[in-house]
């Protein structure tokens, strides 16, 4: 492979006009398809096979026209009179009336006219009492669903925008609603709004649109200090930007042939930008290193692409595996995001291997222009560079067992809280405390109970029950649901016109993110077979809470399979790259340590709210999957680039100690720069106002810190010292089977390496512990 990429790099450098034309044609062609043939991306949230999705399908059969709770753009406007007052009195009744009048002029409003909570509560109570023969039961049922609190102080105006999904709500619609509730405030009346239809609007809910720009700015600064050149610093960002642009445009173009989720470009942009900068950084740094040994720039770029480019190919392959394996989760939009991001990574690899050499061919001697700091590293007596990487590697070599044990103990201790990990979806109750969504949720929880925000819907299919027995069967199902300890109320919500189906509303005692609510859903499903046999009905439980809980469970169940496939395939690839069993094994174990520590730290700071830095709340269900996929790819990037330099020195004659030191001499600086860039990009998300985004930013930045600086910079060299020559052991029968891909460029003609690792040149023997 090294020879093939060596020729590719030289060709791209020499024939840079053809390479640029080829990439320009690709951009224009893909852009033309995206512009002329692309279709709107889908926003349907559907998880085939989960119980709540099956229940939703049953609901649509029995109640045609009804939609999924996840697709409803619901809005809950909460109005609260001051303590001791009631909404029915003035001036609050007048303010509510004016609010309703102003809402009528907002776009995308429902066709049915809105009514105030006082009037709606009176009408609903009258219907409930009339339909029930039990006055006490009617009062209890009314209290569970009425939009007016028992003391008459807090009310809810509930409706749904006339759109297919929440993402179809226009910003102007949300702005109009926010203006209306702002006008309604006064005379001590509090007015807040929540619901899926209002997500994305309101003070405190703004997205951090500048986060990516901040990350790119930090990357530029780190690259500038790494190369001491403004031109060289801009090259990785330029080429990465082109790769991301082509990748995202390609995703848009693919909508002409397949239905894609609207979230697909998000992961592609983040990952494509990160790996694109990293891959260009590694090749550019190797190019500069090769210029120290030759004045022939064509030869230097050929060697750089042949060696560092080989590492880029296999590092990219591990990332592609981690992303493509997201399809194993069984969550369609996650699979689409994974494949889209994987395609963007492939483009990033191709850009680094061809476009970067072509740009260097244009710039030639100006590639490192704009110098503000000349690179003049100190050298030892033999002429080798003596930098911080060398000093660090030798320090670890003095006591490798101590360093290895310290890393395992520290990361293991940090990982302990991960056993208490609680996965759930974000809700209005977990929104930042200064947002109107959170204030609305707090008012509802205080006035109506936490379970009001976690309703479950039981769909009852009575088509197999004789017509005259159906009402009694439905009431038996109601009694069954109400008999569970964690159910605050269960009542018949209605029947279809044929009487073949019924909807039963279940109000839990606890909120949507409470483990007690999750346990209630499990209990209901565990016992539903008995009530189905008893009544002859078929039952399904759905609703937003059930859908989100099922999705969390699907992701949790898929995690072991996902982890096993990703690690297994990557292990095989690393075994081919390093021609070793122990090196891939240590790489994998190190990754597991860093992921465990990251999850433990995230649980401590975000779920349990240690030190009060962040409000305690469940960890969003997608974080472990995303964390494993992203961090595994980045971790293997660092592993490949660091250890291939160690192996390169070893196969050219260096002892195992010399090889470790030489690997750090040539790679530590670049790997550190790459890790700092990633950490800075991810850390920026912690400054956003949304706790969910904050937790993702924290987890990703912590993972990079743990893996790059603790595992790759401490644990791996310590283990390499401890394993010695055994690190490169491979059974002879396996050696014959595995293809020899020559990642290290052993086949390339580099005369200076013969003198660099001469047998008499040895590193001072460290003190053994």
DSSP letter for each residue of 81-114? PPTT--TTSTTHHHHHHHHHHHHTTSTT--SSPP
DSSP 451-495: GGGS-EEEEEE-TTS-GGGHHHHHHHHHHHHHTSTTEEEEEEEEE
Question: Which pair of structure tokens corresponds to residue 461?
Answer: 């299919």
Average pLDDT of the segment spanning 103-115: 91
Whole-angstrom Cα distance, residue 156 to residue 428? Answer: 15
Q: What is the pLDDT of residues 724-759, one digit of tens each?
A: 988 888 888 888 888 877 666 565 655 555 555 555
- Is residue 520 within 8 Å of 46, Cβ to Cβ? no
Question: Which pair of structure tokens corresponds to residue 90?
Answer: 């003035």
- Is residue 545 within 8 Å of 455, Cβ to Cβ? yes
Q: Report pLDDT for 762.
A: 42
Residue 158, Cβ density class (10 Å: 0-12 exposed, 13-18 middle, ≥19 buried):
middle
- Is residue 748 within 8 Å of 306, Cβ to Cβ? yes
Q: Report pLDDT for 561.
A: 87
Nearest to 73 by CA among 43, 53, 114: 43
Under the banding of pLDDT at 50, 70 and 90, the label for residue 514 is confident
Under the banding of pLDDT at 50, 70 and 90, the label for residue 143 is confident
Nearest to 38 by CA among 255, 230, 218, 198: 255
Question: Which pair of structure tokens corresponds to residue 196?
Answer: 């899926």
- Comparing 12 with 219, which gets the higher pLDDT? 12
Q: What is the pLDDT of residues 253-269, one digit of tens each?
A: 888 777 676 667 877 88
- Comparing 753 with 694, which gets the higher pLDDT? 694
Q: What is the pLDDT of residues 22-61, one digit of tens each?
A: 999 999 999 898 888 877 766 556 677 889 989 988 999 9
Question: Which pair of structure tokens corresponds to residue 173?
Answer: 């619609």
Q: Using CA of residue 199, residue 205, residue 210, residue 211, what is the dihedral sign?
A: negative
- Is residue 237 within 8 Å of 220, Cβ to Cβ? yes
Q: Report pLDDT for 764.
A: 42
- Is residue 201 within 8 Å of 171, Cβ to Cβ? yes
Under the banding of pLDDT at 50, 70 and 90, the label for residue 656 is confident
Whole-angstrom Cα distance, residue 95 to residue 767? Answer: 81
Average pLDDT of the segment spanning 404-430: 88
- Is residue 333 within 8 Å of 320, Cβ to Cβ? no
Q: Report pLDDT for 758.
A: 55
Q: Report pLDDT for 642.
A: 86
Whole-angstrom Cα distance, residue 136 to residue 757? Answer: 91
Q: Report pLDDT for 202.
A: 40
Whole-angstrom Cα distance, residue 423 to residue 430? Answer: 13
Q: Report pLDDT for 201.
A: 43
In this structure, of 147-151, 212-216, 490-494, 765-769, the range with the lowest mean pLDDT score is 765-769
Average pLDDT of the segment spanning 287-316: 86
Whole-angstrom Cα distance, residue 164 to residue 215? Answer: 35
Q: Report pLDDT for 641.
A: 81
- Is residue 507 within 8 Å of 489, Cβ to Cβ? yes
- Is residue 475 within 8 Å of 504, Cβ to Cβ? no
Contacts of 531 (CB under 8 A, 6+ apart): 476, 477, 480, 537, 539
Average pLDDT of the segment spanning 308-337: 84
Whole-angstrom Cα distance, residue 190 to residue 213? Answer: 38
Residue 684, Cβ density class (10 Å: 0-12 exposed, 13-18 middle, ≥19 buried):
buried
Percentage of the chain surpassing pLDDT 70?
91
- Comparing 710 with 338, which gets the higher pLDDT? 710
In this structure, of 144-158, 211-225, 369-383, 468-482, the range with the lowest mean pLDDT score is 369-383
Q: Report pLDDT for 400.
A: 94
- Comparing 137 with 602, which gets the higher pLDDT? 602
Average pLDDT over the chain, rounded to whole?
85
Q: What is the CA radius of gyration of the chain?
A: 31
Contacts of 478 (CB under 8 A, 6+ apart): 490, 491, 492, 504
End-to-end CA distance of the chain: 40
Buried b (16+ CB within 10 A) or exposed e, 403-420: bbeebeeebeebbebbee
Q: Report pLDDT for 108.
A: 92
Contacts of 123 (CB under 8 A, 6+ apart): 115
Whole-angstrom Cα distance, residue 659 to residue 312? Answer: 20
Q: Report pLDDT for 70.
A: 74
Task: Please report which residue ranges of 228-296 form alpha helices under DSSP H.
Answer: 230-254, 264-290
Q: Which range has highest mean pLDDT (192-201, 272-281, 348-357, 415-424)?
A: 348-357
Buried b (16+ CB within 10 A) or exposed e, 53-66: bbbbebbeebbeeb
Q: Report pLDDT for 769.
A: 29
Total-model pTM? 0.79
Q: Report pLDDT for 755.
A: 54
Task: Using alpha carbons, list the distances in angstroms from residue 437 to 115, 365, 402, 514, 655.
Answer: 21, 57, 51, 18, 63
Nearest to 595 by CA among 553, 569, 562, 546: 562
Q: List the domains of the chain with CATH numbers.
A: 1-37+214-375 (1.20.1640.10), 43-68+456-542 (3.30.70), 73-209 (no CATH), 389-432+559-747 (1.20.1640.10)
Under the banding of pLDDT at 50, 70 and 90, the label for residue 77 is very high
For residue 386, pLDDT beyond 60 = yes
Under the banding of pLDDT at 50, 70 and 90, the label for residue 681 is confident
DSSP 403-430: HHHHHHHHHHHHHGGGGG--EE---GGG
Nearest to 154 by CA among 365, 448, 380, 418: 448
For residue 197, pLDDT beyond 90 = no
Percentage of the chain surpassing pLDDT 90?
37
Q: Report pLDDT for 200.
A: 57
In this structure, of 208-212, 364-368, 658-662, 717-721, the range with the lowest mean pLDDT score is 208-212
Q: What is the pLDDT of residues 583-633, one digit of tens each?
A: 989 988 898 899 899 999 989 888 887 877 777 777 888 788 878 877 787
- Is residue 46 within 8 Å of 53, Cβ to Cβ? yes
Q: What is the pLDDT of residues 17-30, one digit of tens each?
A: 999 999 999 999 99
Residue 301, Cβ density class (10 Å: 0-12 exposed, 13-18 middle, ≥19 buried):
buried
Q: Using CA of residue 462, residue 465, residue 466, residue 469, what is the dihedral sign?
A: negative
Under the banding of pLDDT at 50, 70 and 90, the label for residue 273 is confident
Q: Which helix (H) or strand (E) holds 191?
A: strand 190-194
Q: Which range has highest mean pLDDT (198-212, 266-280, 544-558)?
A: 544-558
Q: Which helix (H) or strand (E) holds 668?
A: helix 656-683
Q: Report pLDDT for 690.
A: 64
Q: Report pLDDT for 742.
A: 62
Q: Which residues pair with 423 in a beta bridge?
A: 619
- Strand runs (DSSP E) across 475-616, as ranges? 487-495, 501-508, 538-542
Q: Report pLDDT for 39.
A: 75
For residue 442, pLDDT beyond 60 = yes
Whole-angstrom Cα distance, residue 303 to residue 285? Answer: 12
Whole-angstrom Cα distance, residue 153 to residue 86? Answer: 4
Whole-angstrom Cα distance, residue 347 to residue 556? Answer: 31
Whole-angstrom Cα distance, residue 585 to residue 578? Answer: 11
Q: What is the pLDDT of residues 338-374, one digit of tens each?
A: 888 899 999 999 999 999 999 999 998 888 888 877 7
Q: Report pLDDT for 766.
A: 40
For residue 441, pLDDT beyond 60 = yes
């Amino acid at each position: 492979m090294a020879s093939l990429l060596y020729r590719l790099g030289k060709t791209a450098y020499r024939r840079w006009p053809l390479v640029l034309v080829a990439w320009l044609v690709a951009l224009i062609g893909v852009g033309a398809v995206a512009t002329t043939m692309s279709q709107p991306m889908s926003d349907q949230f559907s998880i085939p096979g989960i119980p709540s999705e099956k229940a939703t399908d049953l609901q649509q059969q029995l109640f045609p026209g009804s939609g999924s709770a996840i697709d409803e753009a619901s809005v809950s406007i909460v109005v609260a009179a001051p303590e001791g007052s009631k909404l029915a009195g003035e001036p609050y009744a007048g303010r509510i009336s004016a609010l309703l009048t102003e809402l009528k002029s907002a776009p995308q409003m429902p066709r049915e006219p809105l009514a105030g909570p006082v009037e709606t509560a009176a009408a609903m109570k009258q219907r409930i009492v009339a339909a029930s023969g039990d006055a006490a039961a009617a009062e209890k049922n009314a209290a569970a669903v009425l939009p007016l609190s028992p003391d008459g102080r807090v009310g809810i105006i509930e409706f749904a925008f006339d759109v297919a999904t929440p993402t179809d709500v226009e910003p102007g619609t949300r702005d109009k609603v926010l203006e209306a509730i702002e006008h309604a405030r006064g005379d001590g009346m509090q007015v807040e709004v929540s619901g899926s239809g209002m997500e994305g609007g309101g003070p405190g809910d703004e997205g951090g649109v500048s986060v990516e720009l901040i990350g790119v700015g930090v990357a530029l600064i780190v690259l500038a200090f790494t190369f001491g050149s403004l031109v060289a610093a801009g090259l990785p960002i330029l080429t990465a930007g082109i790769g991301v642009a082509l990748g995202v445009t390609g995703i848009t173009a693919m909508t002409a042939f397949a239905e894609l989720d609207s979230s697909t470009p998000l992961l592609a942009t983040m990952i494509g930008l990160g790996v694109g900068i990293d891959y260009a950084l590694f090749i550019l740094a190797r190019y500069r290193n090769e210029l120290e040994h030759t004045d022939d720039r064509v030869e230097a770029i050929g060697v750089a692409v042949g060696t560092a480019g080989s590492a880029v190919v296999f590092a990219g392959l591990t990332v592609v595996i981690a992303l493509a394996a997201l399809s194993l989760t069984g969550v369609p939009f996650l699979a689409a995001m994974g494949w889209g991001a994987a395609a963007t990574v492939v483009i990033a690899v191709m850009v680094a291997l061809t476009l970067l050499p072509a740009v260097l061919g244009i710039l030639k001697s100006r590639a490192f222009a704009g110098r503000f700091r000349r690179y003049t590293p100190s050298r030892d007596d033999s002429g080798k560079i003596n930098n911080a990487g060398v000093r660090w590697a030798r320090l670890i070599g003095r006591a490798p067992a101590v360093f290895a044990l310290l890393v395992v103990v520290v990361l293991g201790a940090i990982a302990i809280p991960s056993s208490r990990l609680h996965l759930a979806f974000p809700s209005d109750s977990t929104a930042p405390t200064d947002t109107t969504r959170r204030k609305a949720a707090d008012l509802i929880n205080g006035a109506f109970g936490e379970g009001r925000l976690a309703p479950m819907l039981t769909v009852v299919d009575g088509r197999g029950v004789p017509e005259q027995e159906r009402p009694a069967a439905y009431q038996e199902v109601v009694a069954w649901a109400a008999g569970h300890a964690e159910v605050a109320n269960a009542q018949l919500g209605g029947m279809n016109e044929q009487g073949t189906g019924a909807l039963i509303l279940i109000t839990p005692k606890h909120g949507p993110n409470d483990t007690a609510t999750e346990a209630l859903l499990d209990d209901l499903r565990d016992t539903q077979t008995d009530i189905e046999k008893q009544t002859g009905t078929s039952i399904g439980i759905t609703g937003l809470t059930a859908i989100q809980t099922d999705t969390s469970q699907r992701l949790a169940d898929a995690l072991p399979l996902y982890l096993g496939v990703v690690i297994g395939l990557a292990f095989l690839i690393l075994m081919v790259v390093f021609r070793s069993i122990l090196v891939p094994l240590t790489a994998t174990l190190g990754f597991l340590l860093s992921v465990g520590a990251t999850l433990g730290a995230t649980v401590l700071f975000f779920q349990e709210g240690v030190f009060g830095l962040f409000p305690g709340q469940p960890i969003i269900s997608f974080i472990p999957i995303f964390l494993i996929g992203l961090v595994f790819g980045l971790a293997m990037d660092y592993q490949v680039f660091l250890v291939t330099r160690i192996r390169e020195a070893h196969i050219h004659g260096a002892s195992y100690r010399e090889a470790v030191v030489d690997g750090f001499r040539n790679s530590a600086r670049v790997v550190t720069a790459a890790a700092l860039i990633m950490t800075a990009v991810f850390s920026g998300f912690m400054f956003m106002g949304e706790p969910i985004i904050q937790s993702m930013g924290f987890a990703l930045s912590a993972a990079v810190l743990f893996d790059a600086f603790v595992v790759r910079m401490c644990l791996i060299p310590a283990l390499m010292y401890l394993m010695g020559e055994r690190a490169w052991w491979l059974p002879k029968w396996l050696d014959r089977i595995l293809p020899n891909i020559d990642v290290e460029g052993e086949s390339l003609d580099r005369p200076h390496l013969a003198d660099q690792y001469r047998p008499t040149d040895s590193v001072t023997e460290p003190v053994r512990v």
